Structure 1
């Protein structure tokens, strides 16, 4: 693989770099990453996504006819690399990366015409209704039920979903529901789009150790969903769900974000004095940092191979599990190293005396990222499940 950019690609890199320099002012960065980000995340993300959409770069991976870009694999790589360097987030994935590919691949013309432009323009904020209290990694065991009413024009949905990210701010939820119990459990699942304002939908927060409200339980009690909000055929939802999970696991790898976090970690370690010298010069720390960087380089090249294959029209297979596995391992390794740089101050709990008052101003952030990062080896398919996929489809075990 030739990793040198052509003159045209270097020009595109400069264009992307200038674009992010133009749109990321201090006010927007504060909304996305600052102290008030938790409270204003939706407003900040919508403002940011509007700027992406105005440039036509909200969903470059979509087919061109639906608003995507006819970019090469290298251009996609450059875009994400430059985005990651400046701390610009990827769009919230539930609409643009997860449900949209299902809609434009399997949805009706009416569904495409209605939902896709609204996703591009951030008019609708989506959340994902997959996991249930008794169906997490074994997703096909879900029990949330949808039955046709007497008119045959609506499904009546009863059940619950859990670990639903940002459901408190969502306008719509895409759900896997059970419409048939007569055959194999995978064959009785359908894919529904549900308006979160529908009577009978209740959202309850799940308080997590990182102090950031992003997870919820969602309850459905006799919720009416029009049949035209079903994607594709009844009972084929498992097929659609599997294609969505591939897109989710590719994005979970977060190569661009990890590269930026690694550079920030290096600067923090350079400024930290340990025994009279920079922590960055400590042999043990330096070795650990180098190991993570090598793993990240390997992951980046693996991602490039997957993108190259996708550019030729191939659907990612078990490679998405490999990217997800290694990506989350690297994220957690960086979080642990950041905690080590903060030292004792990383153990300070929130309260009247917080980490910023007692020591490093990044220690509280390090702690919250570390706590939140423990879940990355569970969501999107647990590590154990991804290892089973790899063993079966890659190693043939």
Structure 2
């Protein structure tokens, strides 16, 4: 396949690069590289302002399946979206806080919502004014999403749906204005039946409580969300159609968003290679070291070197696979294959991040490379290592992804329950 870009994409690349260079100034420049996986908590205020900056330039909603300019947004082809994403990552622009609304909810409203719902919610997303979070997982309903128990019942006083229950692992819940919630609206229903896809405003004091969850890495990017009679403003797709809408939304987590993620992975791999190179240079200058000595690094280990090369090669393969499946809406296994690939890859990168340091990884910051152009102290490496332990679990565990591929793609018998 031809993975190169044509003249139109190169023109867009120049335009995108120029816009980013012009607008990534002041506090936005200081927020470069902040807000990725493992650091979602950093600089939220500045990054929220940056969303409005992106909205003013029409860069939010460029992949929405509606005419350009409907809500002030540009309309780019799939390859154009890839070009924008590559330039965005190349300039280390701040991590997005509006991606859940832009890339998950908005396309879902376009596919399943009414025109009134689109007109109500899409302008705020396109302008970068309103942030969203996702209310799917619960303590007993993670990968098995059909086990959700959060309920919504009609208030006899005003006829509005009132949501009661708990959601967990909710990113950006402390900063979001809205949450789309999968809840059970048919009493006594089980599994996929009786679910509805609800839109709930987060500013309901006394009815919604958000509690940060402290992670192994010491940060609190995820949250628990407790609903106690919170009002649901809208139902997408109609009551009882929640499972169809929820699965349609999950199918959108493919393609361009995967490529954007891989660009971030490439930057992390570059940092790990920089540590390895500095470690090797320091080891060479110091001469033979006693095995296991504090501060020694496995710079000459051919197995470690081969693993780094393999990590680089696998990242290139993931990119080609993502480009190959870009827009493959008729391939039900593409999202699961992508998740299996990147989840394991990122977890192995976290392990390499500390292994390239050798014994020094457990002792302190880099004593032999203080001038490296990255934040590579012990805290940063530990954060990558600890955060990536969850990559093969959240967003659908590896076991669930393999079941999807086996049952929906290969047609194998379903797992007995």
Q: Quick check: TM above 0.5?
A: yes
Distance (whole Å) between structure 2 residues aligned to residue 84 and residue 279 of structure 1: 31
Which residue among 286, 289, 293 is the counterpart of 2:308?
289
Q: Which residue of 1 aligns with 2:245?
A: 240
Structure 2 CA distance for partners of 1:47 and 1:345, relative to 1, 3 Å: farther
* Equivalence map 1:161-172=2 (5 Å): 161-172=167-178
User: Is contact 1:246–1:316 with CA below 8 Å preserved after alignment?
Assistant: no
Post-superposition shift, 1:359? Answer: 7.9
1:307-330 CA-to-partner distances (Å, cap 9, x unmatched) read 1x44xxx35521011111101222
Give the structure with the larger helix fraction: 1
* 5+ residue gaps, structure 2: 286-296, 413-417
Among candidates 168, 177, 184, match of residue 183 of structure 2: 177
Compute the displacement of 1:44 (Å).
2.1
- Structure 1 pair 281–357 and aligned structure 2 pair: CA distance change class (3 A): closer
> Cα gap change, 1:266/1:16 in structure 2, threshold over 3 Å: closer, same or farther?
farther
Gaps of 5+ in 1: 349-353
SS in 2 for 1:292: helix
**1:215 aligns to what?**
222
What is the root-mean-square deviation of aligned Cα atoms in Å?
Answer: 2.7
1:223-262 matched pairs, under 5 angstroms = 223-226=230-233, 229-248=234-253, 251=257, 254-262=261-269
2:34–2:42 contact (8 Å) kept in structure 1: no
Distance 1:336 1:29, change over 3 A: farther
Correspondence 1:32-47 to 2 at 5 A: 33=33, 41-47=43-49
Cα deviation code 1:371-390 (max 9, x no counterpart): 11112211211111011111
- SS of the residue corresponding to residue 276 of structure 1 reads helix
Assess, with a 3 A threshold, how the Cα gap between structure 1 residues 201 and 302 changes in structure 2: closer, same or farther.
same
Report the counterpart of residue 91 of structure 1 in structure 2. 96
Aligned equivalent of 2:386: 371
Instruction: Measure, in 1, the Cα distance between the counterparts of 2:92 and 2:344.
Output: 20
Change in Cα spacing, 1:358 to 1:370, as seen in structure 2 (3 Å) is same
Structure 1 residues 95-244: aligned runs within 5 Å: 95-151=101-157, 153-198=159-204, 199-226=206-233, 229-244=234-249
**Whole-Å Cα distance in 2 between the matches of residues 283 and 101 of structure 1?**
47
| Partner SS state of residue 168, structure 1 | coil
1:306 aligns with 2:325: yes
SS of the residue 1:186 aligns to: coil
Match of 1:59 in 2: 61
Per the normalisation by structure 2, the TM-score is: 0.84
Tell me the alpha carbon deviations over residues 36-77 of structure 1, each in whole angstroms, 9 at most, x when there is no partner: x76653212222222222221122211243455433332222
Q: CA deviation at 1:242?
A: 0.6
For the Cα contact (< 8 Å) 1:84–1:256, is it kept in 2? Answer: yes
Does residue 276 of structure 1 match 2:278?
no
Greater CA drift, 170-179 or 260-269: 260-269
Deviates more, 1:365-374 or 1:144-153: 144-153
Moved more, 363-372 or 334-343: 334-343
Deviations 1:279-324 (A, max 9, x none): 77753233111211221111111111221x44xxx35521011111
- 82-91 or 360-369: which moved more? 82-91
Contact 2:63/2:78 (8 A) holds in 1: no
Q: SS state of the match for residue 193, structure 2?
A: helix
- Residue aligning to 2:415: none
**C-alpha displacement of 1:91:** 2.6
**Separation of aligned partners in 2, 1:90 and 1:190:** 31
Give the CA deviation at 1:215: 1.4
1:5 partner SS: coil
Structure 1 residues 295 and 49: CA distance shift in structure 2, 3 A: same
For residues 312 and 111 of structure 2, the distance between their equivalents in structure 1, rounded to whole angstroms, comes to 37
Distance 1:330 1:87, change over 3 A: farther
2:13, 2:115 → 1: CA distance? 35
Stretch deviating more after TM superposition (103-112 or 244-253)? 244-253
CA distance in 1, matches of 2:242, 2:263: 32
